Structure 1
């Protein structure tokens, strides 16, 4: 998986959530499907689920909670990345100057030594 590109300050974006399903016996696999299917789309080629969140409102937090509960129960891997708003998106969006954008930028910079500038 490629690293997300930094978004320009003030840009609109949504949170892309990618879930890698854990291998499991049929009964456990079906339990994962039951939890993920209502909130995420499945890409058979990459064997990953994906969901998007544009606000940390009740629906957005519910999606995140379900994904992290599923990860804890079944050993799935959940990754979060800010992405530009797709043309087909009709929901709320985050803006680059919000507190959540600052947190995402900080997390993306976590591996960078203090005082080193990010590569643009």
Structure 2
């Protein structure tokens, strides 16, 4: 899993989740489609699946779990990136003071010794 830097302090955002499509024979490709099609959109140009969540509720956790299960099954990678709320988004949103923002901020703090908390 990789993450990008969080959005600015005070911003409202959603989590953009992408997974690289695994190259597979037709039967395995169709199984991958069956797992991801209900929750994600496919971009043929980048060969990635993507989904968005704005809350760590049952539905959001289900999307994350499916993406991670698919990545594990097909040997691909999940990427998480906080993005500003698009105009078309009608669901819940995260804020910079949410727990997931703190988690993303900590994961983006490269060079920090394991177990050390970032300085505020």
Using the size of structure 2 for normalisation, the TM-score is 0.86
3-state SS of 2:23 partner? coil
Residue 101 of structure 1 pairs with residue 77 of structure 2:
no
Match of 2:83 in 1: 83
Structure 1 unpaired stretches of 5+:
115-120
Match of 1:12 in 2: 12
CA distance in structure 1 between the partners assigned to 2:13 and 2:56 by the alignment: 13
Equivalent residues of 2:43, 2:49 under 8 A apart: yes
Match of 2:52 in 1: 52
Using the TM superposition, give the Cα deviation of residue 113 of structure 1 relative to its aligned residue in structure 2, in angstroms. Answer: 5.2
3-state SS of 1:31 partner? helix
Match of 1:40 in 2: 40
3-state SS of 1:101 partner? helix
Match of 1:118 in 2: none
CA distance in structure 2 between the partners assigned to 1:5 and 1:103 by the alignment: 11
Residue 27 of structure 1 pairs with residue 27 of structure 2:
yes
Using the TM superposition, give the Cα deviation of residue 21 of structure 1 relative to its aligned residue in structure 2, in angstroms. Answer: 1.1
Higher relative contact order (CA 8 A, sep 6+): 2
CA RMSD, Structure 1 to Structure 2 (Å):
1.5
CA distance in structure 2 between the partners assigned to 1:68 and 1:8 by the alignment: 27
Equivalent residues of 1:4, 1:83 under 8 A apart: no
Aligned residues: 111
CA distance in structure 2 between the partners assigned to 1:113 and 1:15 by the alignment: 23
Structure 2 unpaired stretches of 5+:
114-120
CA distance in structure 2 between the partners assigned to 1:5 and 1:73 by the alignment: 27
Match of 2:63 in 1: 63
